Structure 1
Amino acid sequence: MNLTELNLELSGKSPREIMKTALANHERIAVSFSGAEDVVLVDLLSKLTDKPRVFTLDTGRLHPETYRFIERVREHYGIDIELMSPRAESVQALVREKGLFSFYRDGHEECCGIRKIEPLQRALSGLDAWITGQRKDQSPSTRSEVPHVQRDATFQGRGDDLVKYNPLANWSSKDVWDYIRMMEIPYNILHERGFVSIGCEPCTRPVLPGQHEREGRWWWEEATQKECGLHVGNVKGE
């Protein structure tokens, strides 16, 4: 598959058309689901296939509202959502050695590695491709060049190459929310309380008017590296 040519082909297409192409190109493909962008993907996917495969990362530290949101989406679409949890022994070892909030002191990479990266590796290991809700405007420093389709050099899938599709790359936050309102699909109630980019409870807070959405994530760390590792390839030099 020539991804450069495919990117050119997809550049003028809608998210629905991009997802339709992804499904046609890959039998073993899934949507990674967590936030507002991802529920748009789930909505589109449910209209394109009778057997959508959707997974989410249950870190064990999500907001209660997020768990209820996941359940509402499952019931709304009548689909299975595979919850990928961290290995208990790894979590226990980290907490035993460093406590429950070591990320405030040591940075978020170690905790994210255990609670998010390793479960994601397991989720992707049987796939040929995955679909994410990345948008270029989510983070000017790390996502401004996100293409519609790319080779995922960070994670290994079922075959030699793992392909990642980003159907919403050119959408803005307004586009996402216009779709959610128009289609009357579920969203995380935390969005009504000032949360924009929602992750784990200890690492996420509301943003103030005028702040960028990623400023609510890992706010105690350097502002230009707001990636947990799921899309580490976005960070220059990685």
Structure 2
Amino acid sequence: MSSELLNTVDLDAELQQASPQKILEFALSEFDNIVVSFSGAEDVVLVHMAHQIRPDIKVFVLDTGRLHAETYRFIERVREHYKVDIDVLSPDGEAVRELVRKKGLFSFYQDGHQECCGIRKIGPLRKKLLEVDAWVTGQRKDQSPGTRNGIPVIQDDKLFARPGDRLVKFNPLANWSSQQVWDYIRAMEIPYNELHDKGYVSIGCEPCTRPIGPGQHEREGRWWWEESTKKECGLHADNVKS
């Protein structure tokens, strides 16, 4: 089946009850030019599952230049553990320098994280996705009741598609809970970011991430100074309804 013939709405309804492995099997059988997005957090399970299906799976990670040292070490552990090439994407250096020159290193505490994330994350992601026909993300519905509780397992990505072309986005873990993810990590003895043992749940850039306390939702550790119901950096901006 070509990507032009895929009806993502019908397929989403069909795959809603499927396991992440089955969704990945479908994705990898339909697309050769597909890539897994690895954030350096618990979505390492996607790398594990995809590698079992296709050992030469393409993986990328966004290196914003502001990640924790633990995250950089974790990325290397995953690379070595699975013997997989990880494309480490960096932001445009001139754009970063201009932002820092004008606003300093921590402007997001005053005027929001969107501008910084746009340069350090969205720009490199957009450039990468112009090269592929489909991508796989670790989004889950339980990660953010305000923005992710309605995400499908397969969708047309209209944000990052090439002009006049089609980009398909898979979210195999959409219906899994955090508990299921961690049960799988422990059962399969999958490497994970050591920050998780220090109270970090949702892990992003060092200045914008902090541990959470008992009873707090995982996204409360991200951009904690902003509105709690719309905590998206822009990678999945289609989750935020106007």
TM-score by length of 2: 0.96
Query: Match of 1:195, as an amino acid?
Result: Y
Question: CA contact under 8 A between 1:31 and 1:54: conserved in structure 2?
Answer: yes
2:49 to 44, 49, 53: 44
Aligned pair count reads 237
Give ranges in structure 2 of 5+ residues lacking alignment: 1-5
* 1:54 maps onto 2:59 in alignment: yes
Asked if the contact 1:132/1:165 (under 8 Å) is kept, the reply is: yes
Partner of residue 121, structure 2: 116
CA deviation string 1:7-53 (max 9, x = no partner):
12212211001000001111110000014442100000111013110
**Rounded Cα–Cα distance in structure 2 between residues aligned with 1:57 and 1:158:** 23
Other-structure match for 2:96: 91
Partner of 1:18: 23
Which structure 2 residues correspond to residues 1-238 of structure 1 after superposition, within 5 A? 1-157=6-162, 160-237=165-242
In structure 2, the CA distance between the partners of 1:110 and 1:167, relative to structure 1 (3 Å rule), is same
The C-alpha deviation readout for 1:180-229, integer Å capped at 9, x for no partner, is 00000100000000000000000000000000000000000011110000
The separation in 1 between residues aligned to 2:195 and 2:159, in whole angstroms, is: 30
Runs of 4+ in 1 over 3 A off after TM superposition: none
Contact 1:128 1:158 in 2 (8 A): no
Structure 1: state its 5+ residue gaps.
none
Using structure 1 for the length normalisation, give the TM-score.
0.98
* 8 Å CA contact 2:55, 2:84 repeated in 1: no
> Taking every aligned residue pair, what percent have the same amino acid on both sides?
65
| SS of 2:44 mapped into structure 1 | helix
State the alpha-carbon separation in 1 of the partners of residues 23 and 38 from structure 2: 17
Deviations 1:118-154, CA, capped at 9 Å, x for gaps: 0001111111110000000000000000110011111
Contact 1:125–1:158 (CA under 8 A) maintained in structure 2:
no
